[in-house]
Structure 1
């Protein structure tokens, strides 16, 4: 892996990463120019490229924004509160002390400034409640953008579905386009624009017809997906107050039972995280359905792509998201290499273990015979099953002469618990001559800290009528 830092005025202005040195020879400006050239347009219809960009955009909602919601709002409120206390203390001319309170008298001349500072405290308090709503709106907007990209992929690769319908084309459109390709591009763009004006259920039905697939019926998270989309509409149009259309959609798609019109809905940490999970899961699986149904060449096979993306989720400790993707991957019909399938099983079993679903972890491993496999797999199975003596024995005879071996033990998620074991650490040092590096936790939001600030609600459609 090569990393290139770009500088401007002596300061780091950005960075790039690549597996090969030659891939870092272009400047950002050159890459930007190259991206606009015709031979780069294919990235717009490359599912793997689309998924990588989707991953990056969704990461914004899973890390930085959570910090902003639940910590910055709290810190900001504390700062403006301290400023108010200082202002009142300095401007007051009498002070009354109680057991757990203080009362200050302040001249009326300061009332405007006093109200302003008081309103700042209220605003910061509200931000902790309002920012997650804004993020839900943003996530749906991001999702819509990527659904449009998938629709474009379908239109380009299965234009017979679009042009098989009866189409009326204005004579002026025919005359103003220099060739049929331009006219075709305009018609396809209009098809995507029309589709994106529909509701999400209608959009998915469009994909069902275009791909000849049953999506809604076979997607278990469909009610949750539709509830998130419906709640987003409430935040956009009614500030979260339940409308009759929300109730009707709930009856149609099976969500929010018991919620009545007029109830005000909000977003807590549990709901927010579940929303990120569901929206990511839905899009990932829809993208893979398009990829597989159209049998597209995206530079990597879909199974390998799924394996790579799910591994990243495990590395980032997003175990529940990884589980849903990996269960999906292991149950897909079609050709999949035995090695890829076993790698998925290892990551799935480890993910179940990390959320303390030990029986499910054992069940996943039991789907395969691990006796006649490479040592890599045997070591991973030992780590998941917690057989430290067997793991140490295999480590002592495995990776001899390999420079990557120590790094693998330090980095692979499957060894997270083994790295905490004193005997394993001792054996590692004896084997490789260096102490094992225990990485610091990834910068992000701690689950317990979040749930200590805002009580998690697990049920979709649960309401909150909090007052200021």
Structure 2
């Protein structure tokens, strides 16, 4: 038994999460011209066709010709619909984030029962004789019980679902999980959007206060919103929580498959570094480094190297050096030694080691072109010269395909240069969707 199903489920969820995260800014960008047009048409009509009148008591009202009333009604409706879209779309996509989590949990539970059949064997769920005779085999009956068990778990609230998992697995899943309070708040806010237009209820306040969620001065009957920074924080929360949950269960229930668990977690962290999602990478790399067991020193070394690399790429070179120097690399393989030299900016010895590794060693052409470790070194002429001497070809920049959201921004700014003078979110301003909150493309 291995964790392939756990891994597939997590990666499917993370891809869905990324898809929704990119969809919001893309949709809002496309929505802006529509909103602008609807607003301008309505304002122009009001300016040219509406008269303001005042009665004897000083009360003001508007006057409109009868033949213009239908136009007024249509333009007013268009304006209202376009304005509502900017509120409803973020809320709907936010709800989709939580819905994807529920689907993730459904599949996680199925994998749990597959890995540990005794969990479902201990179920006290009963079948009537009339239900039992409908099944062609014991396996069919078992599948039915699993389905009903999962349905009952998914009907519980998110706190009770974690209670269930902790009881089954016999391990604390919320220990050292500061993101837990954020998770509770976003799931409660999801309930508000689904059931009562985002209006704060006494239940929301009760649950959030009981779990020490940060809700500020939020009051009963206040309408909550989903602005982009909040949406991004919810995305990060679910990304972190599901990754930690999957890998905690994986390592607990499948200790003989720790090699694949290490590789999977390292792959996730590498993807985050490549996409420049440094804050998430920092959290998950710390999680990886702090695991009690790794398959071998090489896998642990990758976590340490990438933890240092994340700080280095964030220009926190002192912290990067502190992390990388916490370990003696003298007995390590050449790729780790090279990483140590890069992260301590001993570039001259880097070039010597590159030459020693050569064109058939532990670091190949693709590594030099794609590994974020070499992002700064690639700018140096000496690096390009050394690369050419090793591989007997000129170093060329590898063009990585852009995310769809960035392609959209580039197309819009090419067609509408004035957009370059607008304030946009950080997630939209770089080649990759970034972690930071917002950036100004200056006027």
TM-score, normalised with respect to structure 2: 0.79
Q: Where does the alignment leave 5 or more consecutive residues of structure 2 unmatched?
A: 51-62, 410-422, 429-435, 438-443
> Which residue of structure 2 lines up, in the alignment, with residue 449 of structure 1?
424
* Aligned position for 1:348: 307
| Contact 2:309 2:373 (C-alpha < 8 Å) held by counterparts | yes
Aligned match for 1:224, one of 171, 182, 186: 182
**Change in CA separation of 1:356 and 1:441 when aligned onto 2, cut-off 3 Å:** farther
TM-aligned CA deviation for residue 140 of structure 1: 0.6
Of 191, 196, 202 in structure 2, the residue corresponding to residue 233 of structure 1 is: 191
1:234-264 CA-partner distances (Å, limit 9, x unpaired): 1112222211111111111111243221222
Equivalent position of 1:315 in the other structure = 274
Query: Given the alignment of the two structures, is residue 199 of structure 1 paired with residue 162 of structure 2, yes or no?
Result: no
CA offset at residue 43 of structure 1? Answer: 11
Check the 8 A contact 1:92/1:107 in 2, yes or no. no
- How far the C-alpha of 1:116 sits from its partner, in A, is 2.8
Judge which range, 249-258 or 297-306, deviates more.
297-306
Structure 2 counterpart SS, 1:210 = helix
Q: Compute the displacement of 1:196 (Å).
A: 0.3
CA distance in 2, matches of 1:271, 1:162: 38
Q: Let me know the Cα RMSD of the aligned residues.
A: 3.6
Taking the aligned partners of 2:427 and 2:356, their CA distance within structure 1 comes to 46
Q: 242-251 or 421-430, which moves further after superposition?
A: 421-430
Could you list the per-position Cα deviations for residues 345-395 of structure 1 after superposition, in whole angstroms to 9, with x for gaps in the alignment? 111211122334444323321332122222212222233333333333333
Match of 2:345 among 383, 386, 389: 386
Give CA deviations for 1:288-316 in whole Å, capped at 9, x if unaligned: 22222221887962111111122122122
Cα distance in 2, alignment partners of residues 269 and 229 from structure 1:
17
| Cα deviation 1:178-214 (Å, max 9, x = unaligned) | 3322222211110000000000110111110110011
Name the counterpart of 2:57: none
* Separation in 2, partners of 1:299, 1:372: 24
What does residue 170 of structure 1 align with? 128
SS at match of 2:364: helix
Of the three residues 152, 159, 162, the one matched with 2:110 is: 152
Matched, 1:52 2:16: no
Q: Would the aligned equivalents of 1:47 and 1:298 in 2 still touch at CA under 8 Å?
A: no
Q: 1:282 aligns with which of 223, 229, 241?
A: 241
Pair 1:190-2:111 in alignment: no
Identify which of structures 1 and 2 has the higher relative contact order when contacts are C-alpha pairs closer than 8 Å and 6+ apart: 1
Shift of 1:438: 5.6
**1:387-419: CA deviation from partner (whole Å, max 9, x where unpaired):** 333333333443335797333222111122223
Structure 2 SS opposite 1:367: coil
Alignment partners' CA distance in 1, 2:119 and 2:395: 60
The within-5 A match list for 1:350-365 is 350-365=309-324
